[in-house]
Amino acid sequence: MLLNGKSLIRGEALKKRVLSGMRPTGKLHLGNLHGALANWKKLQEQYECYFFVADWHALTSDYQNPAHIQEYVKEMLIDWLAAGLDPQKATIFIQSKVPEHTELHLLFSMITPLAWLERNPTYKEQKRQLIEKDLNTYGFLGYPVLQAADILIYKAHYVPVGIDQLPHIELTREIARRFNYLYKEVFPLPEPLLAKVPKLLGLDGRKMSKSYHNAIYLSDPPDEVRKKVSQMFTDKSRLRKTDPGHPDICNVFSFHKIYTNPDTMAQIEADCKAAKIGCVECKKILAENLIAGLGPHWEKRAYYQGHENELQEIVNEGIRKATQIAKATLEEAKRAVGI
Ligand code: TRP
Ligand code: SF4
């Protein structure tokens, strides 16, 4: 029985469990803020949430250059808190600090057929795309096995992820099914949660991504934001200011929808369609609104940068809570196998 994401068991309302992770491979950008983080922030109101920094997973692709992982872990945690993840509501921790993940990963690696990993579309796609990296490792092939351990060690019901991660959730379900069949019914089958998020693209109109060098970072100072906004692609068919524009297909306007008040937005929309406002001016308005809108985020970032101990305590508490559950599940799994 489902009640606002809660199931009623023996009369008590038990919240369903949500888990997700992010790899610390770079600074967070606006795409992350309005995508995953906004979604996580909502989910924490309704579910028992576990959010972790997947530092082992960062190593699978960056093992040749791990120098920045540590710094990205910290930046990521700061951005999570600045974005409104609340340690009173969600358990926030670092994957490598709960070593039970890796032990369950080893156990799962024993039962996962190689063919399942070799045919994984995300694996094939990444090997094709990231040609500058050596991905011919055992660890990279086993990436989804570690992810399955991340998810199943908390017996998560739901896993909020992007579409690119769906094959990994399917593999997680297959590994859980195989374990349950071989030994004992230990793991529930998790389900992916796909969020509806606003379509915000990078400066060049492609998906906002660190690897495309088209992102506005949450750590960018105001002048950098101004510069980047001024470089944004607009309605391609609008070559001159005298050409009427199409705000509905303009990425700049998608940002206005979030950062500009409704009256100004309606005015811009009308003026753009009537060729009464130029893109340069439109972008200037956006840049200032973006800077104002990000103000609270920047303040919170600065706060945690100046209060490292507080950050450390939050994460330590998260690690403590996560470890309790992880230990219990690992014991149960080992008992089921008889080891
Ligand atoms: N693979 C995920 C990504 O690249 C990160 C991740 C690792 C994850 N472990 C997870 C996501 C467990 C959800 C659940 O985005
Ligand atoms: Fe886009 Fe603004 Fe230019 Fe219209 S005026 S095309 S909304 S940038």
Per-residue model confidence (pLDDT) at position 211? 84
The string of pLDDT tens digits covering residues 276-329 is 999 999 999 999 999 999 999 999 999 999 999 999 999 999 999 999 999 999
Per-residue model confidence (pLDDT) at position 1? 47
From the CA of 25, which ligand is nearest? 1
Protein residue with its CA nearest to atom 14 in ligand 1: 20
CATH assignment, 2-200+308-337: 3.40.50.620
In the predicted structure, residue 13 carries a pLDDT above the cut 70:
no
Protein residue with its CA nearest to atom 6 in ligand 1: 21
Say if ligand 1 is within 6 A of residue 53 CB: no
Q: Side by side, which strands form the sheet with 12-15?
A: 2-3, 6-9, 12-15
Topology alike, domains 2-200+308-337 and 220-302:
no
Say if ligand 2 is within 6 A of residue 251 CB: no
Ligand 1 mean position, distance from CA 35 (Å): 14
| Range 9-16 average pLDDT | 64
Measured CA to CA in angstroms, residue 184 lies from 177, 223, 330 at distances of: 10, 58, 13
Indicate if the alpha-carbon torsion angle 28, 146, 336, 320 is positive or negative. Answer: negative
Percentage of residues in the chain with pLDDT exceeding 90?
A: 86
266-274 long-range contacts, Cβ below 8 Å, gap at least 24? 272/235, 272/244, 272/245, 272/246, 272/247, 273/244, 273/245, 273/246, 273/247, 274/244
The pLDDT-based confidence of 3 (bands split at 50, 70, 90) is: low
Cβ–Cβ < 8 Å for 330, 100:
yes
Decide the pairing of beta strands 6-9 and 2-3.
Answer: antiparallel
Residue labelled with tokens 């200037």: 284
Ligand 2 mean position, distance from CA 279 (Å): 5
| Range 168-181 average pLDDT | 98
Domains of the chain, by residue range, sit at: 2-200+308-337, 220-302
Q: Tell which atom from ligand 1 comes closest to the C-alpha of 160.
A: 13
Per-residue model confidence (pLDDT) at position 7? 53
CATH superfamily to which 220-302 belongs: Tyrosyl-Transfer RNA Synthetase (1.10.240.10)
Per-residue model confidence (pLDDT) at position 9? 52
The pLDDT-based confidence of 129 (bands split at 50, 70, 90) is: confident
Ligand 2 mean position, distance from CA 207 (Å): 19
Per-residue model confidence (pLDDT) at position 8? 52
Say if ligand 2 is within 6 A of residue 146 CB: no
Looking at per-residue pLDDT, the higher value among 127 and 154 belongs to: 154
- What global pTM score does this model have? 0.93
From the CA of 267, which ligand is nearest? 2
Token reading at 230: 């001024």
The string of pLDDT tens digits covering residues 130-143 is 777 888 899 999 99
Protein residue with its CA nearest to atom 11 in ligand 1: 21
Indicate if the alpha-carbon torsion angle 78, 82, 85, 89 is positive or negative. Answer: positive
Mean pLDDT score of the chain, rounded to an integer? Answer: 94
Q: Tell which atom from ligand 1 comes closest to the C-alpha of 22.
A: 5
The pLDDT-based confidence of 32 (bands split at 50, 70, 90) is: very high
From the CA of 17, which ligand is nearest? 1
3-state secondary structure the chain: CEECCEEEECCEEEECEEEEEECCCCCCEHHHHHHHHHHHHHHCCCCEEEEEECHHHHHHHHCCCHHHHHHHHHHHHHHHHHCCCCCCCEEEEEHHHCCHHHHHHHHHHHHCCHHHHHCCHHHHHHHHHCCCCCCCCHHHHCHHHHHHHHHHCCCCCEEECCHHHHHHHHHHHHHHHHHHHHCCCCCCCCEEECCCCCCCECCCCCECCHHHCCCCECCCCHHHHHHHHHCCCCCCCCCCCCCCCCHHHCHHHHHHHHHCCHHHHHHHHHHHHCCCCCHHHHHHHHHHHHHHHHHHHHHHHHHHHHCHHHHHHHHHHHHHHHHHHHHHHHHHHHHHHCC
| Range 143-162 average pLDDT | 97
